[in-house]
Amino acid sequence: MRILFAGGGTGGHLYPGLAIARALRRLDATIDPFFIGALRGIERRVLPATDFKFELLDLHPLYRAQPWLNWRTAKGAFGAWRSIARNVRAERPACVVGTGGYASGVALGYATVHGIPIAIQEQNSFPGLTTRFFSRYARQIHTGFPEASRHLSPGKRTQIFDTGNPIEPPPSPRPDRAAARREWGFPAEDGRVMLVYGGSQGSKAINDAVARWLSESPMNDLYVLWATGERTYQEFAGLESERVRIRAYFPLIEDAYSAADFALTRGGAMATAELCAWGIPPIVVPLPTAAADHQTANAKALAAAGAAEFIPQSELTAARLDASVRALISDPKLLAERSAAASRRSRPDAAMDIARHILSMVDLKEIRE
């Protein structure tokens, strides 16, 4: 049974689809996931390394700041429509799963016109344009943040599930924290460990603030795991010390999660979902240029739930960061409360829950042959 996945452009839209596809395969080995993505997106590097079938198309986002370039969007959409039609004629999918981003819109549109059931997984607390438009046509919508549902316009047949974001869940049992600290060369028990992670590409704004803060406000009871991103790694690598471990990125992010007590991070939906699943409360500095400022919406939602602190990038100074970190390491009760609140927001089994709902939808036998 083929299930078509449409989404990508960025990892935040691609990885949820991969997690759901793997969960579907675990539940039913006959499922044949097929991915539609963009030639210019991250999927061009990620999908060839998977065992899933895929096709990359000349898809483009809406050029909001350069509207005269939207001819590329229109041309790409027209060509993609024909390619999707060819794929559907070869093997009609049981449903189309959209995970957002400009790579998903054309496939969801084709499915809507041709009576193929659609399910949408929305990662952010403020849904993207594609999700908001197609919510009225979807059979199922799976939200990463419960706050997203208030911005949707579901149809009469639409079911909305607060499933959380599909991530790779923490292992069970959890890795031993003392052992994880020792692997980084930190004491097994003393002090706190802070994870600094600005996303897959890193964050220059966060890196600059952390560099100033470490030089101005050393703390004897704090240890830092800091991923700078590859582009700026050489600029900050010289700040490594016995208390600060600096890497371009963490090949196995679980090694960092296992040792961390709290984090400084961007407001991406998948990164914050992973932190919550591990019970790691973040200090969130959203990327201010994110589409529709959705990272700020995510940060505010987590802060309102008591799971995070929200700091706008414009207010991220060494002094502000120092105050936020000192509050956490000097008040074990505050850190424990935030950690518990983060855990309450987590949905480590989201991928499996979404997969079960999708299989239930397919089993309704409402697909037009």
Strands (E), 114-268: 118-122, 140-143, 159-161, 192-197, 222-227, 244-247, 262-265
Q: Running along the chain, 369 residues long, what does each successive block of 10 average in pLDDT? A: 90 91 95 92 89 89 76 78 92 95 90 96 92 96 94 94 92 93 94 90 91 87 94 94 94 93 95 95 94 90 96 96 95 97 94 96 57
Q: Where exactly are the structural domains of the chain?
A: 2-167+349-362, 177-345
| Topology of the domain comprising 177-345 | Rossmann fold (3.40.50)
Helix (H) or strand (E) holding 309: strand 309-310
For β-strands 140-143 and 192-197, DSSP reports them as: unpaired
Q: What is the pLDDT of residue 224?
A: 97
> Which residue in the block uniquely carries the two structure tokens 């016109």?
113
CA distances to 147, 214, 329 from 312, in Å: 20, 20, 21
CATH code 3.40.50.2000 for 2-167+349-362: yes
Q: What is the pLDDT of residue 290?
A: 83
Distance CA 22, CA 190 (A): 39
Q: What is the DSSP string of 96-138?
A: EEE--STTTHHHHHHHHHTT--EEEEE-SSS--HHHHHHTTT-
Q: Mind listing the pLDDT tens digit for each residue in 204-220? A: 999 999 999 998 877 88
Closest C-alpha among 41, 51, 38, 32 to residue 95: 32
Distance CA 335, CA 327 (A): 9
Residue type, 310: F
Tokens read off for 357: 């709902």
Distance CA 320, CA 237 (A): 23
Distance CA 24, CA 47 (A): 17
Distance CA 1, CA 125 (A): 32
Share of the chain above pLDDT 90, in %: 75
Q: What is the pLDDT of residue 364?
A: 54
The reply to whether 2-167+349-362 and 177-345 are identical in fold is yes
